[in-house]
Structure 1
Amino acid sequence: MQRFLDKFSLYDLIVIAMMSALGIATKPIIVPLAQIITGPLFIPSGAVAGGFYMLWLVLGFGITGKRGTMTLIGLVQAILVMATGIVGSHGVLSLVTYTMPGILADLGLLLIGHRVCCFPCAFLAGLLCNIAGTIMVNFVYFRLPVAPLVLSLSAAALSGGLGGLVAFKILQQLWKFQRRDWKTSKDDIA
């Protein structure tokens, strides 16, 4: 475990902590809004809302570029909800329900050899995060029959993928500002 954590700089760990906190902070705002859409369809609101709070995992990995970032963000989120008792806590099972999305997305991007570097892999990362989260919460709480589960997973896949695309667009803007700052500092030196 120590060797795994040693590859993360202090900057990376700060990004991981910030993305974790932002994910937890946005959840209570997004879930009630998603309930407006999902209520009539009888699917869990987290399937739709998850795409928007899972984007923080994808964004964190895009910023650090280090494998395992999404898993660490999920783990920190689990610890945060257990420690604070924030809405969305599943007790000790939060360790599984919050960490599994990061694990699955990290493994998915490892298998295809990408690091949130393009639209397709960002879409895939968000999709995997949200599908994993939806499946875990279904096993822990809902245990939906097959038809609503398939509908829920379909909504989760679309929402998660769109969240991944939003994260990638944010990354593109960050990269643009980073290049601009680098160019400005280079001109100042000259």
Structure 2
Amino acid sequence: MHWKRQNLNCIKPLMYTGGEIMFWQKFIEKFSVLDLIIIAMLSALGIATKPIVVPITHIITGPLLIPGGVVAGGFYMMWLVLGVGLTGKCGTATLIGLVQALMVFGTGIFGSHGAMTLLSYTLPGVAIDLALWFTRHRVCCLPCSFLAGVLANICGSGLVNILYFRLPLVPLMLALTVAALSGGLGGIIAYKILHQLKKTGFGHKTA
């Protein structure tokens, strides 16, 4: 009996690992090859445009003494919202954020915050997916696109503030307000782009 218990204890971690593999396998299987290509492209575009956008936003945020990423974040979140609209599948934004985090973390390029990069890039995607899951929308209208962008940028800006900046209350509230406006604008732009793509027959049918 003692030998059997030892064997079972050894097997449990393997069973847990197998369960994790099954979860990720099922998660990825719901995406088509085209979906994964879209996710990869949007992830790359989000990272590639970051060094261009951040210096421009610093011109605006510098005098206000708030982090430049608060405004630039709206542009980043646009790619996540657009991804959900193009695939029409829950989990897309999270996957885009995760891919971006792995790109930044693995290469050490612009915007790397070490291991915390995984959180700062992935959680805004989780916020988008949760918001759209609760509302049963898929970037199909202007309000849900705006809401997705707002929540994502507030989540990202708030998390970065907790981890790095730790602003006092008044600057923090100002930063989160600007983040909400910037994120909402990014969501609107994503919806407008999606609307134009829909006219060409590209994108999810409900977009």
Range into which the TM-score falls when normalised by the shorter chain: over 0.9
Which deviates more from structure 2 when the two are superposed, residues 170-179 or residues 154-163? 170-179
Identity %: 65
Alignment correspondent of 2:177? 154
Larger radius of gyration: 2
* C-alpha distance in 2 between matches for 1:16 and 1:129: 17
* C-alpha distance in 2 between matches for 1:135 and 1:75: 18
* C-alpha distance in 2 between matches for 1:78 and 1:19: 13
Q: Does 1:18 align with 2:37?
A: no
Alignment correspondent of 2:109? 86
Alignment correspondent of 2:143? 120
* C-alpha distance in 2 between matches for 1:161 and 1:77: 21
Alignment correspondent of 1:176? 199
Q: CA deviation at 1:59?
A: 0.5
* C-alpha distance in 2 between matches for 1:153 and 1:26: 22
Q: CA deviation at 1:129?
A: 1.2
Letter in 2 for 1:27: K
Specify every segment of 5 or more residues in structure 1 that has no aligned partner in the other structure, as ranges: 180-190
Q: CA deviation at 1:51?
A: 0.3
* C-alpha distance in 2 between matches for 1:147 and 1:175: 42
- Which aligned pairs between 1:5-154 and structure 2 lie closer than 5 A? 5-154=28-177
Tell me which stretches of 4 or more aligned residues in structure 1 moved more than 6 Å.
none
Aligned pair count reads: 179
* C-alpha distance in 2 between matches for 1:156 and 1:86: 23
Please state whether the residue corresponding to 2:184 is helix, strand or coil: helix
Q: CA deviation at 1:84?
A: 1.3
* C-alpha distance in 2 between matches for 1:106 and 1:78: 17
Please state whether the residue corresponding to 2:164 is helix, strand or coil: helix
Q: CA deviation at 1:110?
A: 0.7
Letter in 1 for 2:168: P
TM-score, reference length from structure 1:
0.92
Letter in 2 for 1:146: L
TM-score, reference length from structure 2:
0.85
**RMSD, aligned α-carbons:** 0.8
